[in-house]
Homo-oligomer: A and B are copies of this chain.
Amino acid sequence: MQHIDIKDIFDRKSGYTGKIVTVCGWVRTSRDSKNIAFLEINDGTAFKHLQIVADKNTIGDTAKFMPLCSAGSVTGTCVTAANNPDSVEINAEKIELLGACPPEYPIQKKPHTLEFLRTVPHLRVRTNTFNAMFRLRSKLSEAIHKYFLERNYTYVHTPIITGSDCEGAGEIFKVTTIGFSKDYKTEEEYNKADFFGRAAGLTVSGQLEGEVMATAMGKIYTFGPTFRAENSNTARHAAEFWQIEPEVAFAEIDDIIGIAAEMIKFVIRFALENCQDELGFFEKFYEPGLKAKLQTVADSEFARVDYSEAVGILKKSGKAFQYPVEWGCDLQTEHERYLTDEVYRRPVFVVNYPKKLKSFYMKQNPDGLTVAATDLLVPGVGEIIGCSERENDYEKLLAAIKERGMKISDLFGSAPVRVGAAQRVRAGA
């Protein structure tokens, strides 16, 4: 069906003014008077709706176009909007109904709770909230690719089904073609009969494969789904989420911190430039001051503090924390919030954590107690990036795996290989 995207009409107003165009879309608001009907339609290419002015002497009866979410095509002249010289509208010459919407349609022009919208997952994306959210997610994904690809990174797809447990946390979903069965006496027998002839699960991180790739392609990033079978119901845990995992050869902790800060700022700026309407919607209905907050993050010099120094600051704060602070403790949300919201008032990298808090693969510092790892904490949010220089000393790496009671075979599957043994290159991020 020949038609143009509504976004193109908004983007190149002057190019279409005075011309006859055809657009398709869904009715998002409608208003009828004796001689004229006004419809706002949306085709999903822009967050904004396009106003259609329908003269009943030309169009005929407009009643069938009035119900919300009716789908149709409109042909008419693109003109400067009567009430906004910066926008355009269409004087309709022909409207065709492509999909009628019945009166019992569950999404009407009134506030719906997110709880209600959970019950109509096939329709909720048509609301402004979900529409804005998915559009923003798409733009953020675009920005992530743009950031890395413009800087000579190779985008790699690491395996989703894997035999390795990178984090050693055991929170892995199993993948099987058998599932429930009474046919096997032992787990070993079961695994042997399974699709891959061995136990397999969903990746918790593409990092180990990413490191392998980085020792050939120098700078790589993954951007794909990751899975954790965590039995927690918080807004910060999901069984399935998309994760970005850059791995960079010839990089040390300072380089990694630089990359993390630059990437976050790039992505935020991209959203501010390309998602004005969507962020405006969130600012109006969900979080006042959102754009200014994002702008502040994009413009600020991120702070940096050693973990040990941060512990000192927290202890001297005089605050009655629920979880007491001692060197060696994991920073809780209340501690992170104090650092970001009260001490630094901007994003802060906490650097050089105690090694027993962190994963086996992180570069051990000369002090023997800490690792060259950092978390980026952001005001009002908490941790959004965790990264580290990678351990490049094979014996230390082996010792760290053993110390944690992990099995090499869980990392490298049934055929453990000496990954990176021949290389002592620092890789991280």
Residues of B with C-beta under 8 A to A184 = 180
Measured between alpha carbons, how far is A413 from B61 in the docked complex, in Å? 41
Q: Can you report 24 residue pairs joining A to B where beta carbons are below 8 Å apart?
A: A1-B255, A1-B426, A5-B152, A43-B250, A44-B220, A69-B422, A99-B423, A102-B422, A122-B418, A125-B217, A134-B216, A138-B156, A157-B225, A160-B240, A161-B239, A174-B177, A174-B179, A176-B176, A178-B180, A179-B190, A179-B199, A180-B187, A224-B225, A225-B225
Within 8 A of B (CB), among A1-24: 1, 3, 5, 7-8, 24
Residues of B with C-beta under 8 A to A69 = 422-423
Measured between alpha carbons, how far is A44 from B425 in the docked complex, in Å? 14
Given A155-B141, A425-B98, check contact A24 B180 (CB 8 Å).
no
Residues of B with C-beta under 8 A to A425 = 71, 98-99
Q: In the complex, which of the residues B43, B138, B214, B424 contacts A249, with contact meaning CB atoms closer than 8 Å?
A: B43
Per-residue CB contact flags for chain A residues 254-284 toward chain B (1 = under 8 Å, else 0) read: 0100000000000000000000000000000
Residues of B with C-beta under 8 A to A130 = 216
When C-beta atoms are compared, the residue in chain B nearest to A185 turns out to be B182
Q: In the complex, which of the residues B126, B191, B250, B420 contacts A98, with contact meaning CB atoms closer than 8 Å?
A: B250
Report if A137 contacts B (CB, 8 A).
Answer: yes
Residues of B with C-beta under 8 A to A229 = 177, 195
Shortest beta-carbon distance, A428 to chain B, in Å? 11
Shortest beta-carbon distance, A12 to chain B, in Å? 12
Report if A121 contacts B (CB, 8 A).
Answer: yes
Report if A30 contacts B (CB, 8 A).
Answer: no
Name which of A101, A176, A181 has the most chain B CB atoms within 10 A of its CB: A176
Given contact pairs A134-B154, A138-B155, a sample of 13 additional A-B residue pairs in the complex whose CB atoms are under 8 Å apart: A7-B152, A44-B217, A44-B219, A44-B249, A69-B422, A69-B423, A99-B422, A134-B156, A135-B154, A138-B156, A174-B177, A175-B175, A195-B231
When C-beta atoms are compared, the residue in chain B nearest to A412 turns out to be B122
Report if A363 contacts B (CB, 8 A).
Answer: no
A173/B157 in contact, CB under 8 A: no
B419/A122 in contact, CB under 8 A: yes
Per-residue CB contact flags for chain A residues 210-226 toward chain B (1 = under 8 Å, else 0) read: 00111111111000110
Per-residue CB contact flags for chain A residues 358-371 toward chain B (1 = under 8 Å, else 0) read: 00000000000000
Measured between alpha carbons, how far is A105 from B99 in the docked complex, in Å? 65
Q: In the complex, which of the residues B3, B121, B215 contacts A417, with contact meaning CB atoms closer than 8 Å?
A: B121
Measured between alpha carbons, how far is A243 from B142 in the docked complex, in Å? 18
Per-residue CB contact flags for chain A residues 72-109 toward chain B (1 = under 8 Å, else 0) read: 01000000000000000000000000111110010000
B218/A424 in contact, CB under 8 A: no
Report if A53 contacts B (CB, 8 A).
Answer: no
Residues of B with C-beta under 8 A to A138 = 149, 154-156
